[in-house]
Structure 1
């Protein structure tokens, strides 16, 4: 085989193989920028939203006074009309208008409020007419986030303590695949009834001051494939054909040039 064409063949194959390679600088987290400690905060706010399922616990020294507000949810047998299983805490669903139906108090608008503001509102409604110095805790039972795209284990994840960072979410999903685009991770969040998109670069330390560093319930994290992966998907389809045709072409040219 002619040396020139032999070199051409090996160069062509090398180009195809190298197109699948990913540089180290494309996958190492937090390699750019310094962390601006003055902007880093460990505070995060939980805002109540429609479709949140709330567990509201009210306590006070007067046990009898709080009993009507701490109803238990039980299942009854249709035959004996008796309770089945262990009674569980009653939950309250925030409707499309942001309201929940609280025993005795009626409809209370909690949607759009932070936990602190929601607790303050309930205290205002309860004290002093119904309960003196009530202690209130509100927990979102169905707090979840979704991680989709080029990660090891995409899916929905329930977060029991309502505190999760985007780094935690990626960890739950088994980390990004090597082919995941770390520079342009998409977070979709619902704000005031609208879907809002945020972009975050996991290669930069600015991640720690991003408004989506702390995720909120129902946030969706989407990891796209990087450019090399997209290109290789196209290249892999035609690689075998390309090499075969190149080999045939080289063979023919080699015969013609003898």
Structure 2
């Protein structure tokens, strides 16, 4: 009878044990325990205008006629003749096509630099122009092991990786904090970078501050695939069967 108890106990321990490795669920776990951890921000935090971006351009001058002429809601046709209802589309050469002024190259500039360039260009046609430019297509997508995967529009054109994950409801317990992918496309080139959120060095990565149309993918841990595998779904049935056999065998041997 003791042999059956030993066999039964061994089976329970074997089936209940997990083969998943222990994981670190703490962000920046390598930070020291000091009260302050000051770091200079060396990453490029300002997004730059890219090909195919949609820009909202507002131009104010001393002339009401000029304001109407430069409005993005009228006469907004780019070099290819493509009409945009809500803004100016940056063409393949990196230009927008402004009425009167014509093609203005903005690719590779920050919004502030683009505004300065347009003011300089428009000063040849009107006096003291005031230019305001905003992205109309600044959005990021967060998918994978997060609580609320979605695509988010960013109104202030500046967001970092932690803020994006926070908007998506943070990682689930299955999300691999040491292996978060940032997928970025610039000028027809796709770059995929792995980010380790357990390491504080991620704060200095050029991919910590996100750009327009970035995609963040949180990879699931192996424990999730093990938990949801067909074999593990049968584990409760196997345990119940072994238990029944052990109890039945004990009862028969005791008689």
**TM beyond 0.5:** yes
Return the alpha-carbon distance in structure 2 between the equivalents of residues 238 and 109 of structure 1: 63
Residues 131 and 90 of structure 1: CA distance in aligned 2, closer, same or farther (over 3 Å): farther
CA contact (8 A) 2:57 2:72 kept: no
Return the alpha-carbon distance in structure 2 between the equivalents of residues 178 and 73 of structure 1: 50
What's the CA shift for 1:68? 1.8
| 2:151 is the alignment partner of 1:156 | yes
Residues 59-113 of structure 1 deviation map (CA, whole Å, 9 limit, x = unaligned) = 2445554442125469xxxxxxxxxxxxxx9511223443322111223232333
What's the CA shift for 1:225? 0.4
Residues 237 and 51 of structure 1: CA distance in aligned 2, closer, same or farther (over 3 Å): farther
CA contact (8 A) 1:146 1:221 kept: yes
Which of 151, 163, 166 is equivalent to 2:161? 166
Moved more, 116-125 or 147-156: 116-125
| 2:6 is the alignment partner of 1:4 | yes
What's the CA shift for 1:241? 5.5
Residues 55 and 211 of structure 1: CA distance in aligned 2, closer, same or farther (over 3 Å): same
Residues 27 and 188 of structure 1: CA distance in aligned 2, closer, same or farther (over 3 Å): same
| 2:141 is the alignment partner of 1:140 | no
Residues 51 and 187 of structure 1: CA distance in aligned 2, closer, same or farther (over 3 Å): same
Structure 2 unaligned spans of 5+:
76-84
CA contact (8 A) 1:99 1:107 kept: yes
CA contact (8 A) 2:8 2:242 kept: no
Moved more, 55-64 or 98-107: 55-64
Return the alpha-carbon distance in structure 1 between the equivalents of residues 242 and 94 of structure 2: 65
Which of 203, 210, 215 is equivalent to 2:205? 210
Moved more, 159-168 or 48-57: 48-57
The aligned runs of 1:1-258 (5 Å cut-off) are: 1=1, 2-15=4-17, 18-19=18-19, 23=22, 26-33=24-31, 37-41=38-42, 44-72=45-73, 90-127=86-123, 129-234=124-229, 236-240=232-236, 242-243=238-239, 246=242
Residues 252 and 169 of structure 1: CA distance in aligned 2, closer, same or farther (over 3 Å): same
Structure 1 unaligned spans of 5+:
75-88
Where 2:41 maps in the other structure, the secondary structure is: coil
What's the CA shift for 1:12? 1.7
CA contact (8 A) 1:112 1:192 kept: no
Moved more, 230-239 or 185-194: 230-239
What's the CA shift for 1:244? 5.7
What's the TM-score once normalised by structure 1's chain length? Answer: 0.78
CA contact (8 A) 2:43 2:205 kept: no
Return the alpha-carbon distance in structure 1 between the equivalents of residues 45 and 213 of structure 2: 15
Return the alpha-carbon distance in structure 1 between the equivalents of residues 114 and 238 of structure 2: 64
